[in-house]
Amino acid sequence: MRSGISIEVSPSDHRRLKVLVRDRNTPQKHVWRAEIVLLSAAGGGTVEIMRRTGKSKTCVWRWQERFAAEGVDGLLRDKTRPSRIPPLAPEVAERVVALTLTDPPVEATHWTAAMMARQIGISVSSVQRIWRAHGLRPHRVRQFKLSNDPLFVEKLRDVVGLYVDPPAHAIVLSFDEKSQIQALDRTQPGLPLKKGRLGTMTHDYKRNGTTTLFAALNVLDGTVIGRNMQRHRHQVFIRFLNTIERQVPPGKSVHVILDNYAAHKHPKVRQWLDRHERFTFHFTPTSCSWLNAVEGFFAKLTRRRLKRGTFHSLVDLQAAINRFVVEQNADPKPFTWTADPDKIIAAVKRGHQVLDSNH
């Protein structure tokens, strides 16, 4: 052993080193480092340790010094080495960020990493690293729509009030139509899901017709009144209202939350309302489909039953939808509204202010 280096291994460190050597899952670099220390503690000379571990003299000395200074933990980590490639100057990152916030000079809607790398003269990975550090994702976009309804605040508070504090002895129904539901049949049968392989389905399909689902969600108990229709005109809407009239217990007032579709405000629909005084319509603000609770049911129907479904005929599609409604009603969950309307109103005001300032 080199003079001036004394290896003393405590019993606990000796046990840890033995475990490292014997464990088959230990990285090999940790194994031979532990062997160097164990052989040194046993009194082995540098030449013997070199022969038994296959390492150079400087390597043996280096890990003897590391153990003497830092113990076993020092053997389990490597000191970081400076990169061969010099780091980018802060001005480069600032230029990448500034360019990302502008339109690209070519005929494209957004910057790509390769495009930015060519423009700045750096690698694609450097561009991606800068974007990640600054929270920039030019390849993604969020969709939005601000309501321009002059009665936005009044309608919002009216609908949210029905969700949070419904009237006594009344039923609150969230109604909407899901139109143009296609009965899609794949051109070839797909392969089933198996270990190591996704389920498959062809990209092309055959259309077997469309249907429109009229649905009213009872926000108090989570049940759904649903019916498949061929169209969604005012005559069909009145037929569905008659269906609700038959299924809702008599003596209860009915508050219906619905959007501003023209068929919902047709003169004949208003005449129907005049004849059925227990029904009251509550219209959501324009461009506020997210305020209608039944949209959550439609999203679940699409995600779980329609998106990957195969339907050989329109009858198959309608039967599948009807079964889904029955399953929903077998285990219903009441709708719970949690958003603060004041925060929604404030967010919409901020959105209009930003749009007005930018445009």
Both tokens assigned to 198: 């996704």
Plot region of 256 (φ>0 → left; ψ -120 to 50 → alpha; else → beta): beta
What confidence tens digit (pLDDT) does each residue in 197-207 have? 999 999 999 99
Q: Let me know how long the chain is.
A: 359
Query: Looking at the predicted structure, is the pLDDT value of residue 325 above 90?
Result: yes
Q: What is the pTM of this model?
A: 0.73
What single-letter amino acid sits at 73?
A: D
CA 175 to mean position of chain CA atoms: 26
Q: How far apart are the first and last CA of the chain?
A: 77
- Give the integer Cα–Cα distance in Å for 337 and 332: 16
CB 289 within 8 A of CB 259: yes
- Give the integer Cα–Cα distance in Å for 33 and 163: 67
> What is the per-residue pLDDT for 218?
96
> What is the per-residue pLDDT for 356?
86
Query: Looking at the predicted structure, is the pLDDT value of residue 4 above 60?
Result: no
The helix or strand, by DSSP H or E, that contains position 94, with its residue range, turns out to be helix 90-100
